[in-house]
């Protein structure tokens, strides 16, 4: 098996994109049944270069350039998984995943249940998602709600380089189909990653996490919105207000125990995502929090989201996406009761 030249070891400062690349490389090295598939993932290394260099080192039989046919990519992956492989599919952009929706929701998600547990489908579908790159519809969608709503799928999204490196390996090791949502506007954010740490020592895949302690209000987000949350917490601190931040990391299943514990202390909750408001992830989080923490809440749960419109032209996206002012305004509203 070919190896990369001059392999990185120890603790390195990596972008999220590079961390994903190295996580995929590690998975290919660890398990010969792991395959990468997608449009231009081979020689080109993918639109965002997440698979850069992997076909050169692991060959065309393990890093496969596919036709421009998303349903065919996922259908082929399902067949390979039934034969014992662990395919990792790349959808070039979020909106391009919709042609494969039938294969994902009617076959991939249901096969384990349909076979009464006799068949497992360890397929990972990587989807760069969210806005903020100056692009248009089909290239800036937030499709997480569709996949969260589909029983039989797991849905996760990293927001840091260390999570990107370990979560992609954990998703590939999972025997369940995993929708792996990558915040493409954050691909170039950097963080320290211990490349020698075993994946088994990493935070569990389906676990949310408090990333900043606070006392006055709880703010929950995931993936692309976590930078806005951190900026909002810094700005609020300058005004003497302490925000506790929770990174959900896993959207299906949701792990809301850290959110419940936080809200029972702060009494206030704001949920932030780029997906539209109507029936979005924030609606489910709000319903569960109001059920579990009703007597602790000092104010109604507030939502800061994308709007219930198609994704706008790129010159308008800064008005569409949640930003610092909208998050802080929502926090202020929780103190008006």
Q: Which two tokens stand for residue 236?
A: 């609020």
Give me the sheet containing 243-247, strands edge to edge: 209-212, 243-247, 217-221, 269-276, 302-306
**Are the CB atoms for 268 and 216 separated by under 8 Å?**
yes
**Are the CB atoms for 166 and 23 separated by under 8 Å?**
yes
pLDDT tens profile 134-176: 988 899 999 999 999 999 999 999 999 999 999 999 999 999 9
pLDDT confidence of 2, banded at 50, 70, 90?
Answer: very low
Q: Which two tokens stand for residue 14?
A: 């990596």
**Are the CB atoms for 48 and 190 separated by under 8 Å?**
no
pLDDT of residue 8: 83
DSSP letter string over 31-60?
-TTEEEEETT-SSS--TT-TTTTHHHHH-T
Nearest alpha-carbon partner for 143 in 165, 123, 125, 120: 125
Q: Indicate if the alpha-carbon torsion angle 283, 246, 132, 11 is positive or negative.
A: negative
Q: Check pLDDT > 50 for residue 178.
A: yes
pTM to 2 decimal places: 0.96
- Top CATH class of 209-335 equals alpha beta
Q: Where are the domains of the chain?
A: 11-201, 209-335
Helix (H) / strand (E) element for 276: namely: strand 269-276
Q: Helices 161-173 and 16-30 sit at what angle, rounded to 10 degrees?
A: 30
Q: Angle at CA 104, nearest 5°, toward 103 and 110? A: 95
pLDDT tens profile 24-34: 999 999 999 99
Q: What is the helix, strand, coil percentage profile of the chain, to 5?
A: 40, 20, 40
Distance CA 35, CA 80 (A): 9
- Could you give the residue numbers annotated as active site? 139
Give the distance, in angstroms, between the CA of residue 10 and the centroid of all CA atoms in the same chain.
Answer: 25
pLDDT tens profile 64-111: 999 999 999 999 999 999 999 999 999 999 999 999 999 999 999 999
pLDDT tens profile 101-146: 999 999 999 999 999 999 999 999 999 999 999 988 899 999 999 9
pLDDT tens profile 186-206: 999 999 999 999 999 999 999
**CATH homologous superfamily for the domain 11-201:** Thiamin diphosphate (ThDP)-binding fold, Pyr/PP domains (3.40.50.970)
What percent of the chain lies above the pLDDT cut of 90? 96
């Amino acid at each position: 098996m070919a190896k990369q030249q001059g392999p990185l070891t120890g603790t390195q400062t990596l972008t999220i994109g590079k961390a994903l690349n190295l996580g995929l490389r590690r998975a290919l090295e660890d398990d010969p049944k792991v395959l990468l598939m997608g449009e231009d993932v081979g020689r080109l290394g993918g639109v965002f270069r997440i698979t850069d260099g992997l076909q050169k080192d692991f060959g065309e039989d393990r890093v496969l350039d596919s036709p421009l046919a998303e349903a065919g990519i996922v259908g082929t992956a399902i067949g390979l998984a039934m034969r014992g492989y662990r395919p990792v599919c790349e959808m070039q952009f979020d909106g391009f995943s919709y042609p494969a929706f039938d294969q994902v929701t009617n076959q991939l998600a249901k096969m384990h249940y349909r076979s009464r547990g006799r068949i497992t489908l360890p397929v990972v579908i990587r989807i760069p998602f969210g806005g903020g790159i100056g692009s248009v519809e089909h290239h800036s969608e937030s499709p997480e709600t569709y996949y969260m709503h589909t029983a039989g799928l797991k849905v996760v999204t990293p927001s840091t380089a260390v999570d990107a490196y370990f979560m992609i390996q954990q998703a590939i090791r999972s025997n369940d189909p995993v929708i792996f949502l990558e915040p493409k506007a954050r691909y170039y954010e950097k963080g320290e990653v211990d490349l020698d740490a075993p994946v088994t020592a990493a935070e569990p895949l389906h676990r949310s996490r408090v990333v900043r302690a606070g006392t006055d209000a709880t703010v929950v987000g995931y993936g692309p919105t976590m930078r806005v949350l951190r900026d909002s917490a810094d700005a609020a601190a300058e005004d003497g207000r302490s925000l506790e931040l929770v990174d959900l990391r896993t959207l299906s299943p949701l792990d809301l125990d850290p959110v419940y514990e936080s809200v029972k202390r702060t009494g206030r909750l704001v949920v932030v995502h780029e997906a539209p408001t109507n029936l979005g992830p924030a609606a489910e989080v709000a319903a569960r929090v109001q059920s579990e923490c009703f007597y602790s809440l000092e104010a109604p749960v507030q939502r800061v989201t994308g709007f219930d419109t198609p994704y706008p032209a790129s010159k308008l996206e800064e008005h569409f996406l949640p930003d610092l002012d909208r998050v802080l305004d929502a926090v202020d509203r929780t103190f008006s009761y």
